[in-house]
């Protein structure tokens, strides 16, 4: 197989080491396998089976079966072994149950961050240790740098695919044995390499939705465990303008449509507040002051490298690939909060705020009001 010459000369690892690579069947992890092998690593692919509840409507098979078939094709092309790891029990306990619990408590969780923190990286490394591998690797668009003070985590070169936000809860113990072969590449470069090497998934669409679950109707998903509880939808004058099926099914900033029964308004309305005690939702027009927040508290704030001082000039992101907002990270005792330079629209409690200094990720915490 031929790979562009300038990719072959990049130096980012030690040769003749064993790597356990998470392979999903997608083009990113496939090219990660190719690049690692070309760099001299002994690559072992690992397909993670985590969730069997979502099935292909045409075949009736679990979605992961189709994905594993593609991973097997790539492993065969590269002449590397592929093992299957069943983490369904752990995934249900640490991710799926977390989703239901968070929504039931009125929060909007980010399961992808938790998935990386509790499933992908620690469990993959646990398996790597069993086979005496030196590293683990994934197809994430992010970069790791080693310094005298420890390891740093940086955004990927491709700003349209950067996945550092999802990795914001990783520990030093994770970073020291992890490789991100795609960190200095763009998605278009990845696809060109895949097409040049005749990979069958070179033009395969990227995954969307929840980690290992995919794109789902969240309300329908939540109804499996959270019963409906009809309540009132109010405007800012406490007028009843509609009814909802439960505050836990909605998130701050979400547009409300069919639930509005009042004929007095034709405006687009958005959730500005949820009151779980009274089971009411307050909605407002777009850009209303109630949708904006200038300060958030950060629960369980995690720093990527505790030994490094936090720069004064930082920016924050409230969602994956979201805009970087200027502001100030403030520490009061053991608590952190972030004050935005300008009020920010549609901040949902339970989501993560990630702090950056240029391209370097400083840390993250769950947002509260």
Query: 280-285 and 292-303: which strand pairing?
Result: unpaired
Give the mean pLDDT of the chain.
91
Residue with tokens 């668009």: 141
Percent of the chain with pLDDT over 90: 82
Domains of the chain in sequence order: 12-139+181-196 (3.40.50.620), 227-286 (2.30.30.280), 292-368 (2.40.30.10)
- Whole-angstrom Cα distance, residue 330 to residue 338? 6
Query: Which pLDDT belongs to residue 60?
Result: 55
Local confidence band at 205 (pLDDT 50, 70, 90 cut-offs): confident
Local confidence band at 7 (pLDDT 50, 70, 90 cut-offs): very low
Q: Of the listed 211, 283, 296, 361, which one is catalytic?
A: 211
pLDDT at 57: 53
Model pLDDT, residue 367:
98
Tens digits of residue pLDDT in 98-116: 999 999 999 999 999 999 9
211 carries an active-site annotation: yes
* In the predicted structure, residue 4 carries a pLDDT above the cut 90: no
**Which two tokens mark 313?**
């000039």
Regarding predicted confidence, which is higher, 16 or 246? 246
Q: Of the residues 34, 115, 193, 362, which is catalytic?
A: 115
CA–CA separation, 198 vs 211, rounded Å? 27
Helix 187-196 crosses helix 27-38 at what angle (to 10 degrees)? 70
CB within 8 Å of 121: residues ≥ 6 apart: 136, 170, 174, 178
Phi, psi of 22 (to 5 degrees): -70, 115
Task: Measure the CA–CA gap between 164 and 43, rounded to whole angstroms.
Answer: 24
333-347 burial, b if ≥16 CB within 10 A, otherwise e?
Answer: eeebbbebeeebebb
User: Residue 15's pLDDT is what?
Assistant: 53
pLDDT at 6: 40
Of 136, 139, 179, which Cα lies nearest the Cα of 158?
Answer: 139
pLDDT tier for residue 283 given thresholds of 50, 70 and 90: very high
Residue 25 · residue 48 · CB < 8 Å: no
Strands (E), the chain: 18-22, 42-49, 82-86, 135-137, 142-147, 150-155, 178-179, 231-234, 240-244, 255-256, 269-275, 280-285, 292-303, 314-317, 325-332, 335-345, 352-357, 360-368
Residues 16-39 have pLDDT tens digits of 899 999 999 999 999 999 999 999
Provide the angle, in degrees to the nearest 10, between the axes of the packed helices 63-78 and 27-38.
20
The confidence band for 227, taking pLDDT boundaries of 50, 70 and 90, is: very high
Q: How confident is the model at residue 207 (pLDDT cuts 50, 70, 90)?
A: confident
CA atoms within 13 A on the CB side of 359: 15
């Amino acid at each position: 197989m031929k790979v562009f010459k300038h990719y072959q000369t990049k130096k980012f690892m030690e040769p003749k080491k064993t790597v356990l690579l998470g392979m999903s069947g997608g083009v990113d992890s496939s090219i990660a396998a190719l690049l690692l092998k070309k760099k001299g690593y002994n690559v072992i692919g690992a397909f993670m089976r985590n969730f069997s509840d979502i099935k292909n409507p045409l075949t009736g098979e679990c979605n992961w079966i189709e994905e594993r078939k593609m991973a097997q094709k790539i492993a065969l092309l590269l002449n590397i072994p592929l093992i299957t790891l069943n983490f369904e029990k752990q995934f249900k306990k640490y991710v799926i149950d977390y989703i239901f619990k968070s929504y039931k408590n009125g929060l909007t969780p980010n399961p992808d961050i938790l998935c990386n923190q509790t499933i992908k990286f620690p469990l993959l490394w646990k398996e790597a240790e069993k086979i005496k591998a030196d590293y683990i690797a994934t197809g994430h668009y992010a970069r790791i740098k080693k310094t005298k003070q420890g390891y740093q985590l940086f955004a990927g070169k491709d700003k349209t695919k950067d996945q550092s936000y999802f990795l914001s809860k990783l520990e030093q113990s994770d970073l020291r044995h992890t490789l991100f072969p795609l960190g200095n590449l763009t998605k278009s470069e990845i696809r060109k390499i895949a097409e040049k090497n005749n990979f069958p998934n070179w033009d395969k669409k990227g995954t969307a939705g929840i980690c290992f679950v995919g794109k789902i109707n969240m309300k329908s998903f939540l109804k499996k465990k959270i019963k409906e509880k009809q309540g009132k939808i109010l405007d800012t004058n406490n007028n009843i303008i509609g009814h909802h099926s439960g505050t836990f099914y909605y998130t701050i900033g979400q547009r409300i449509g069919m639930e509005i029964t009042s004929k007095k308004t034709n405006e687009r309305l958005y959730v500005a507040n949820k009151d779980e005690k009274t089971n009411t939702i307050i909605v407002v027009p777009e850009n209303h002051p109630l949708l904006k927040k200038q300060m958030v508290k950060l629960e369980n704030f995690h720093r990527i490298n505790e030994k490094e001082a936090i720069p004064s000039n930082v920016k924050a992101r409230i969602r994956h690939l979201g805009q970087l907002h200027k502001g100030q990270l403030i520490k009061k005792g053991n608590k952190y909060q972030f004050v935005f330079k300008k009020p920010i629209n549609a901040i949902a409690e339970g989501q993560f705020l990630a702090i950056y200094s240029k391209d370097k990720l400083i840390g993250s915490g769950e947002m509260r009001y």
